Structure 1
Amino acid sequence: MLIAMNVRIAFSTVGIAAVLLTAPLPGQTGASTPTVTNAAVVPNPWTQLMTKAAAHAHAHGAPTPLLSPVDHSVVRMKSTPADAPLVPVADLQAKGIRVVPWTTNDPEAMRAVIRTGVDGLISDRPDLLQKVLAEERAARPEDAKLKRFVVSAHRGGRGLRPENTLPSFESGLDQLSTELETDTGVSTDHVSLIWHDQFFNPQACRKADGSEYTIANRIYLRDISSTEAQKTFICDKLHFGADQKNDPSLSPVTVAFSAKEGRPSIYSPTYVAELFRFVRFYVEYYSVGPGKGTPHAEERAANARTVRFNIETKVLPDRLPPAVAGAQDPKVPAEMYKNQTLPPQAFVDALAGIILKERMEGRAAVQSFDFRTLQLIEEQQPKIQTFYLTDNYKLLSSDFVPAGLRLN
């Protein structure tokens, strides 16, 4: 016996149309001719990007890249545009693509993001994230994903210490973060200097000799050597809330390490090779050094032995799309929105070079909004993991993205 069938168009979370055959709806009788409505199919932009990115990585023998989207593209928040599609977390994970959003600091927002099933979260407050994660693990002890959840300390955890400094990384380790997130530029001596902006920002840094330092006489990372940067600046200014502290007594490992290395200040700028040495020193401090026997010493040393590094290259594309250019603050000099760094290859040479020299390719990943850098890493140093940082999904169709990854 033939059963009359109706055809409906349904959409999955990635926007791919599927045809579902169903029995007649109530009140319908007799056979009917199936019809298909020509509905526009709009693939999810994050799926499109990461499918192309994964294909490029695999073609060069590199591991599957990760997606690191802004948190409000994973769950709807006040800052999420009404028409913006959300990141299809489960669908990407089914393709082997892990998702680690940035940067969530509110506990309830953390909880909402965690419950989407993401693989980790980047936060300025790893202490709060650990607390929320502990509650989620207690509520769902069978959830294996929560057991391996990545707690990434953004800029070392700038909610507690001045950002991207050894004290901030020490604090991130103290909070048992499983990953330290940071940023790099390239200095005149081709060193991967750790700093977020293209220049040492006077909001966070001051001159060691007490002379005036402002936006007007800013110094770009590309125009100073790593040695001169450490002699010139002390980046201990507090500007990120009441819980951010710069008391040296809170950073005993940095104090001891700086004395050993002859650093001018515990808040002198640092660089990637020094960060690697510092983490090794941290392990020794709590396993066989002065910190042995103190509360949490064994736990801290064990975590630091395996902590990962998520290192961002702070390089802007040569051409910024209108969506970015239109957001420029008219009070800020236009040149500050232009790329004042070295080309992508210089970043790859400096950063990948030190990662390989220190044999950290198993623990260090490179992340960037500039996908040219990531593709060079995948092509030239395929042992190093890549993270694709994203913000506004509309940028994925612009000149901001290399042609091979750009969305149609």
Structure 2
Amino acid sequence: MRRVRRTAIAALVAATVTTGLAMPAQAKPRPDRTFDVQAHRGGLGLRVENTLASFGNALQLGVSTLELDVQITEDGQAVVTHDRKVTGTKCVDTTPVSPGDPEFPYVGKYINTLTLAQVRTLDCGSKTLADKPGQLAVPGARMPLLREVFALVNRYQAKDVKLNVETKVEAGALSETAPREQFVRVTAAEIRAAGLLRQVTIQSFDWGALMRMRQVEPKLPLVALTNYDFLQTGQPGASPWLGGLDIDDFGGDPIRAIRSFGASAFSPVHGSPQNGRLPTPATSRT
């Protein structure tokens, strides 16, 4: 059975990245291990998240991976945004797509109930987050299409940059996002069309989407996301997040579970948010 590769992942959410760490003289390089600097949501500590400006900035900084999120609109378009519902802390309504549109305003609506034309009226760049003091606004930025982010990477000729794409299937509330099958097929088609099969990894909390992606596009490496609550260890039946698997059938071991469908990596949430069960490190004074 294929060994799950261990990779160190760093999310770029700060204004500086320190490189050139000192190494003890006796330490030898480990070619089988890498350190992957990922721009989480395009580097949301520097620019408003998941915008073309944030991804362009991250590429200029020289990150090794762009991390991004995908939702599917009502008319089947893959857009890059983290939240399944348009939130007023990140996006602002401008004008309706047509006079008298009964769905306007669009803030507060689920992405899977809005068309691409409706979504593209939103200004998702003018607001910055209070907990990201270094975040710069990108006034007027529209929610980008997945293909636009791929085109940006190709324009930069960034053949050495990876893209870690999260399919945001909400397995615990399936009506709030597009169907799993649509997520998988639309995302895979966009990756193929951009010629980026060798640069993309697919991550998801919904292991069912990963299993289906393995069938639709076997060349794509899979990253299994989870948190403590989603595993439902010790509870009867299978968690809706695990694609039909019952974690207790694997002795509660998520690594054994993800190996069963060929995932390349396991990435659990630690600490806040989402109950990662990571204790706060003790501090002491000397």
TM-score w.r.t. the length of structure 2 is 0.73
Q: Does 1:232 align with 2:108?
A: no
* Amino acid corresponding to residue 406 of structure 1 in structure 2: I
Q: Does 1:125 align with 2:32?
A: no
Aligned with 2:159 (options 270, 293, 305): 305
Asked whether the equivalents of residues 122 and 143 of structure 2 are also in contact (C-alpha less than 8 Å), the reply is no
Q: Does 1:144 align with 2:30?
A: yes
- Aligned residue for 1:390? 226
- Aligned residue for 1:381? 217
Q: Gaps (5+ residues) in structure 1?
A: 1-54, 56-63, 65-94, 100-118, 249-264, 284-303, 320-337
Q: Structure 2 CA distance, aligned partners of 1:215 and 1:140?
A: 62
Q: Does 1:188 align with 2:62?
A: no
Asked whether the equivalents of residues 202 and 215 of structure 1 are also in contact (C-alpha less than 8 Å), the reply is no
- Structure 1 counterpart SS, 2:176: coil
- Aligned residue for 2:154? 280
Aligned with 1:269 (options 143, 146, 157): 143
* Amino acid corresponding to residue 155 of structure 2 in structure 1: F
Shift of 1:230: 1.9
* Amino acid corresponding to residue 125 of structure 1 in structure 2: V
Aligned with 1:245 (options 133, 136, 146): 136
RMSD after superposition: 3.0
Asked whether the equivalents of residues 124 and 142 of structure 2 are also in contact (C-alpha less than 8 Å), the reply is yes
Among all aligned residue pairs of Structure 1 and Structure 2, give the percentage whose two residues are the same amino acid.
Answer: 24
Q: Structure 1 CA distance, aligned partners of 2:177 and 2:26?
A: 46
Is the alpha carbon distance of 1:349 and 1:382 closer, same or farther for their aligned partners in structure 2, counting shifts above 3 Å?
A: same
- Aligned residue for 1:81? none
Q: Structure 1 CA distance, aligned partners of 2:194 and 2:106?
A: 37
Q: Structure 2 CA distance, aligned partners of 1:223 and 1:395?
A: 29
- Aligned residue for 1:153? 39
Q: Structure 2 CA distance, aligned partners of 1:232 and 1:242?
A: 23
Shift of 1:137: 5.8
Q: Does 1:208 align with 2:98?
A: no
Over residues 230-255 of structure 1, what are the superposed CA-to-partner deviations in whole Å (9 max), with x where a residue is unaligned?
2333333110421111267xxxxxxx
- Structure 1 counterpart SS, 2:9: strand
Shift of 1:125: 2.1
1:23-38 equivalences under 5 Å are none
Q: Structure 1 CA distance, aligned partners of 2:26 and 2:85?
A: 44
Q: Structure 2 CA distance, aligned partners of 1:155 and 1:233?
A: 17
Larger of the two Rg values belongs to structure: 1
Over residues 32-54 of structure 1, what are the superposed CA-to-partner deviations in whole Å (9 max), with x where a residue is unaligned?
xxxxxxxxxxxxxxxxxxxxxxx
Asked whether the equivalents of residues 317 and 339 of structure 1 are also in contact (C-alpha less than 8 Å), the reply is no
TM-score w.r.t. the length of structure 1 is 0.52
Asked whether the equivalents of residues 73 and 116 of structure 2 are also in contact (C-alpha less than 8 Å), the reply is yes
- Aligned residue for 2:83? 197
Is the alpha carbon distance of 1:189 and 1:141 closer, same or farther for their aligned partners in structure 2, counting shifts above 3 Å?
A: farther
Over residues 332-356 of structure 1, what are the superposed CA-to-partner deviations in whole Å (9 max), with x where a residue is unaligned?
xxxxxx7401121010011011111
- Aligned residue for 1:76? none
- Aligned residue for 2:244? 403
Structure (1 or 2) with the greater helix fraction: 1
- Aligned residue for 1:340? 176
Is the alpha carbon distance of 1:269 and 1:216 closer, same or farther for their aligned partners in structure 2, counting shifts above 3 Å?
A: closer
* Amino acid corresponding to residue 248 of structure 2 in structure 1: L
Q: Gaps (5+ residues) in structure 2?
A: 97-103, 250-286
Asked whether the equivalents of residues 186 and 193 of structure 1 are also in contact (C-alpha less than 8 Å), the reply is yes
Aligned with 1:361 (options 197, 209, 213): 197
Over residues 51-81 of structure 1, what are the superposed CA-to-partner deviations in whole Å (9 max), with x where a residue is unaligned?
xxxx6xxxxxxxx6xxxxxxxxxxxxxxxxx
Q: Structure 1 CA distance, aligned partners of 2:66 and 2:203?
A: 12
Shift of 1:123: 1.1
Q: Structure 1 CA distance, aligned partners of 2:26 and 2:127?
A: 40
Asked whether the equivalents of residues 209 and 243 of structure 2 are also in contact (C-alpha less than 8 Å), the reply is no
Q: Structure 2 CA distance, aligned partners of 1:406 and 1:124?
A: 32
Q: Structure 2 CA distance, aligned partners of 1:227 and 1:385?
A: 32
Q: Structure 1 CA distance, aligned partners of 2:187 and 2:14?
A: 25
Q: Does 1:178 align with 2:64?
A: yes
Shift of 1:152: 0.9
Aligned with 1:169 (options 55, 75, 78): 55
* Amino acid corresponding to residue 111 of structure 2 in structure 1: L
